Amino acid sequence: MAEEKKKTPVMLIVGILVFGLLLAGGISYFIATKIVMSNSVKEGEGKSAHHEPGVFMKLGDAKEGLILNIGGVNSGRFLKIGLILEVKPEKTEATEGKMPSPSEVKILDAVVRTLRSQKIEDFEPQKQEQLKELIKNEVNKSLGEDRVYEVYITNFVLQ
């Protein structure tokens, strides 16, 4: 009889302990997910956190990228830059031959215009993120909607 009384309280204590641990784990998980979700909402207030997968578009020549004269007509400075834009997919437009679509022409025009309008100081490594954001904004402005998700610079040579 004494052994049965000792087994019951031990089993009861073990059961309560397991239940308490499960309850504490569930509460911790709930709190952690709420904090993570609130932080991700705060970080992504200005940007859409989720968007449909984009299409990567390389600008300029396949090997060279874009080669532009910058800094004015008489500066003699050249920029060789490789740019890839991640853009919102569009409905395919039927084009004959190797002619680019009208949106590709607008994108290339906006990028060339933006790069050529910059001063030499604007191409410093510290200002690379600002340059990428400027290109993104100008291309979106020329297309009339937010189609560019991200701008990637793959190579950069200033001479």
pLDDT tens-digit map of 36-45: 777 665 555 5
Please give the Cα distance from 123 to 68 (Å, whole number).
13
The 10 Å CB-count burial string (b at 16+, else e) for 95-130 is eeeeeeeebbeebbebbeebbeebeeeebeeeeeee
Residue 131's SS3 state is helix
Domain extent listing, the chain: 1-48, 55-158
Residue 66 has phi, psi (to 5 degrees) of -105, 135
Inform me whether the pLDDT recorded for 77 exceeds 70.
Answer: yes
DSSP code at position 61: B
- Note the pLDDT of residue 57: 86
Q: Encode 8-55 in three state secondary structure.
A: HHHHHHHHHHHHHHHHHHHHHHHHHHHHHHHHHHHHCCCCCCCCCCCE
Structure tokens given for 144: 């009339």
Q: What is the mean pLDDT of the chain?
A: 80
Structure tokens given for 76: 């003699």
Please give the Cα distance from 103 to 100 (Å, whole number).
8
pLDDT tens track for 113-124? 988 888 888 888
| Mean pLDDT of all residues in 125-136 | 89
Inform me whether the pLDDT recorded for 47 exceeds 60.
Answer: no
Which residues fall within 8 angstroms of residue 103, CB to CB, at 6 or more apart? Answer: 90, 93, 143, 147
Inform me whether the pLDDT recorded for 108 exceeds 60.
Answer: yes
CATH 3.60.20.30 fits 55-158, yes or no: no
